[in-house]
């Protein structure tokens, strides 16, 4: 009964943590800092709402959360997204991991006599603690990086390299942690360093790889079942939790039956499982959706519990150490990014500022710190307190520097308005009347720059309101089109007489190459003339009947096409990103609430399916939420 009371009490604290985290974001602070702060306040060293007994009882929640974090890290390493910047990613990752690990480990070893829990340790144990600390200091934060890139709508080689390095680094760090945890365990148990130790570490890695492959197959099997998604989510988390139980059982049995311990790293196993699901098979989209849906809940629970676990009495003594490690990490990142940038041949401008983009730390770093606390209980909690303090400092300062770096590189697009896109979102409407004004206002509300060209034949007076750009022209001449800047127009709409409409279409096609021409047809006899030059024709007589017909047969589809669904839109986007050339649609990592309906290539419209391959210059018809469509626009470089 006691465990249910503990879970109920922690649930109430977690709900409060969610609200407090929102207040932190309003103050421009990281969300997880709010969760950690709540955990600290509610923890045993302050209000005592979460006791030390509760923290021990809730250890299984820690392991469930760590399994999720590792699965999510593996799923983020999508190889097809990284192929165009592999050289830069490779050298930058090597430079960052090597320098940060070496400087971090050396600093912890040198300062060992000033760290309370390390003072009485033998040299071998100090080395063990140092290499574990150096490993965690090399970790990054993919979630923070992706959030900032989306916020700034950043796009370009600098941004692409940062994201690639951030994701690959966490994978390398987890593998390095797996090796160093085994070495540390051997040093702490006084196992002599010889060829047998090397064989043991390699064997542990191979066994972890094999179990990770089995886990990947289990996850694919679960995802393929036709059962409720909530049940699938529970089974995936339980599979990850089972890996932690298996690792503990193997370690316990080996300690009792063998002269050495077998330490399989559960984070590495779960990461391999997530990687295999994301890169092989047909379940990646559903897997991403499950991780996306459960992610916010897991992060609230994990970071709140982590905050409650902080040993504040240790932190009050070791905060100067945490501050020193924070600055040493910055120095390591600066040196590593400079070396990596030079070896990969990146522009000097990028090399000078790239270090600013790699300061953020969050999920993986905290997960590894908690894992140390679990695997080495004698001193692990004290160790985790110091390392988590460094991570919190990095998470507070890192996003600020990251934003500066993106802006200095000139790849931030958050300041751009939709109307500043060159040529694809400008429209000229010929004819001044109520329909043209209503159309212009609707297009402007959706991010288009609309101009109304009025000629002498227009009967309506110019409206008094100044929200619409109205340009009087003397006639339908080429000079008039130049004054309207027609070469930048992505579309031309003509609401004049059929002869005037045809003249407009001729000039637009022959002299400006405008592809999207829309006319309101007055006489059905002129249909073929307009159709031959590729004009989109609207017949007022049949348009209303057709619209009513669609509302009867497909009300949802008609509502979407007319933009009547709240927060949903449908747009045509041109594919300009060279990295997408030849990529099948099924391999794109699109936002989960978007769908590509069709692909227009030259004059041919392709009904899209998973194996349709993009080519530069394709136009994709995409439906989804407004926010997600902006992400797709960035992906397509549209």
Radius of gyration of the chain (CA): 30
CA distance 142 to 145: 5
Q: Which pLDDT band holds residue 214 (cuts at 50, 70, 90)?
A: very high
Q: What is the pLDDT of residue 102?
A: 93
pLDDT score at 422: 45
pLDDT of res. 329: 92
Hey, what domains does the chain have and what are their CATH numbers? 63-408 (1.20.1530.20), 418-538 (3.40.50.720), 568-636 (3.30.70.1450)
In whole angstroms, what is the distance from residue 478 CA to residue 457 CA?
18
Is the pLDDT reported for residue 139 higher than 60? yes
Task: Look at residue 424 and tell me whether its pLDDT is greater than 50.
Answer: yes
| Tokens of residue 173, six digits | 């760090």
Angle at 99 between CA 93 and CA 100, to 5 degrees: 85
pTM of the model as a whole: 0.65
Q: What is the pLDDT of residues 316-338, one digit of tens each?
A: 777 888 899 999 999 999 999 88
pLDDT digits (tens, 9 = 90+) for 142-174: 766 766 776 676 777 788 788 788 878 877 888
pLDDT at 153: 67
Confidence of residue 22 (pLDDT cuts 50, 70, 90): confident
Structure tokens of 504?
């407009």
* Cβ neighbours for 327, distance < 8 A, ≥ 6 positions apart: none
Start-to-end Cα distance in the chain: 58
Per residue in 66-93, pLDDT (tens digit) is 888 888 877 877 777 666 677 888 899 9
Q: Which two tokens stand for residue 98?
A: 């090597």
Please write the tens of the pLDDT for every residue from 445-466.
Answer: 777 888 899 886 555 566 655 6
| pLDDT for residue 420 is more than 70 | no
Residue 323 structure tokens = 């501050």
Greater confidence (505 vs 461) lies with 505
- The whole-chain average pLDDT of the chain stands at 81
Q: Residue 96 class from Cβ within 10 Å (0-12 exposed, 13-18 middle, 19+ buried)? A: buried
d(CA 180, CA 263): 11
Percent of the chain with pLDDT over 90: 7
**pLDDT exceeds cutoff 70 at 402:** yes
Q: What is the largest CA-CA distance in the chain?
A: 98
User: HSE (CB half, 13 Å, CA atoms) of 464?
Assistant: 0
CA–CA dist 76, 589 (Å, integer):
10
Is residue 527 exposed (0-12), middle (13-18) or buried (19+ Cβ within 10 Å)? middle
Are 323 and 393 contacting, i.e. CB atoms less than 8 angstroms apart?
yes
């Amino acid at each position: 009964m006691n465990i249910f009371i503990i879970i109920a009490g922690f649930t109430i604290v977690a709900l409060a943590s969610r609200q407090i985290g929102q207040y932190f974001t309003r103050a421009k602070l990281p969300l997880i800092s709010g969760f950690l702060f709540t955990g600290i306040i509610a923890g045993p060293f302050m209000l005592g709402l979460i006791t030390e007994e509760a923290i021990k009882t809730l250890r299984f929640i820690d392991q469930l959360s760590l399994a999720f974090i590792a699965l999510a890290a593996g799923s983020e390493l999508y190889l097809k997204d990284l192929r165009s910047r592999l050289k830069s990613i490779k050298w930058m990752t090597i430079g960052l991991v090597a320098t940060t690990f070496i400087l971090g480990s050396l600093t912890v070893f040198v300062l060992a006599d000033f760290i309370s829990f390390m003072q009485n340790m033998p040299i071998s144990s100090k080395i063990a603690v140092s290499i574990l600390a150096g490993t965690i200091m090399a970790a990054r934060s993919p979630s923070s990086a992706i959030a900032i890139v989306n916020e700034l709508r950043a796009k370009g080689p600098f941004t692409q390299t940062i994201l690639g390095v951030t994701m690959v680094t966490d994978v390398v760090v987890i593998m390095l942690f797996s090796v160093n945890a085994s070495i540390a365990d051997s040093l702490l148990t006084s196992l002599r360093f010889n060829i047998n130790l090397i064989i043991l570490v390699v064997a542990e890695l191979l066994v972890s790889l094999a179990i990770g492959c089995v886990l990947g197959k289990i996850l694919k099997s679960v995802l393929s079942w036709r059962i409720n998604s909530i049940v699938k989510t529970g089974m995936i988390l339980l599979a990850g939790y089972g890996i932690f139980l298996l690792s503990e059982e193997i370690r316990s049995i080996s300690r009792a039956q063998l002269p050495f311990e077998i330490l399989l790293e559960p984070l590495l196993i779960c990461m391999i499982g997530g990687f295999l699901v994301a890169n092989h098979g047909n379940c990646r989209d559903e897997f991403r959706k499950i991780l996306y849906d459960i992610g916010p809940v897991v992060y609230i629970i994990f970071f709140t519990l982590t905050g409650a676990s902080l040993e504040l009495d240790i932190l009050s003594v070791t905060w100067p150490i945490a501050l020193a490690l924070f600055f040493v990490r910055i120095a390591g990142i600066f040196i590593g990014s400079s070396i990596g940038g030079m070896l990969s041949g990146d522009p000097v401008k990028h090399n000078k500022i790239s270090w600013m983009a790699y300061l953020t730390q969050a999920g993986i770093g905290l997960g590894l710190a908690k894992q140390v606390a679990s695997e080495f209980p004698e001193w692990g909690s004290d160790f985790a307190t110091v390392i988590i303090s460094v991570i919190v400092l990095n998470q507070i300062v890192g996003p600020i520097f990251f934003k500066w770096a993106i802006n200095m590189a000139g790849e931030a697009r958050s300041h751009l308005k939709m109307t500043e896109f060159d040529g694809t979102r400008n429209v000229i409407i010929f004819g001044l009347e109520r329909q043209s004004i209503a159309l212009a206002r609707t297009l402007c509300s959706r991010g288009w720059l609309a101009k109304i060209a009025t000629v002498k034949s227009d009967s309506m007076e110019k409206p008094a309101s100044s929200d619409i750009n109205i340009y009087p022209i003397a006639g339908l001449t080429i000079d008039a089109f130049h004054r309207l800047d027609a070469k930048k127009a992505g579309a031309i709409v003509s609401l004049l007489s059929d002869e005037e409409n045809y003249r407009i279409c001729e000039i637009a096609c022959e002299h400006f190459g405008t592809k999207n021409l829309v006319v309101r047809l007055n006489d059905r006899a002129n249909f073929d003339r307009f159709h031959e030059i590729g004009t989109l024709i609207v017949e007022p007589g049949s348009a209303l009947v057709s619209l009513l017909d669609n509302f009867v047969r497909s009300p949802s589809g008609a509502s979407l096409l007319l933009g009547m669904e709240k927060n949903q839109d449908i747009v045509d986007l041109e594919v300009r990103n060279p990295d997408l050339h030849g990529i099948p649609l099924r391999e794109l990592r699109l936002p989960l609430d978007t769908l590509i309906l069709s692909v227009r290539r030259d004059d041919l419209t392709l009904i899209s399916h998973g194996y349709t391959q993009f080519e530069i210059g394709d136009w994709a018809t995409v439906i989804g939420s407004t926010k997600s469509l902006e992400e797709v626009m960035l992906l397509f470089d549209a």
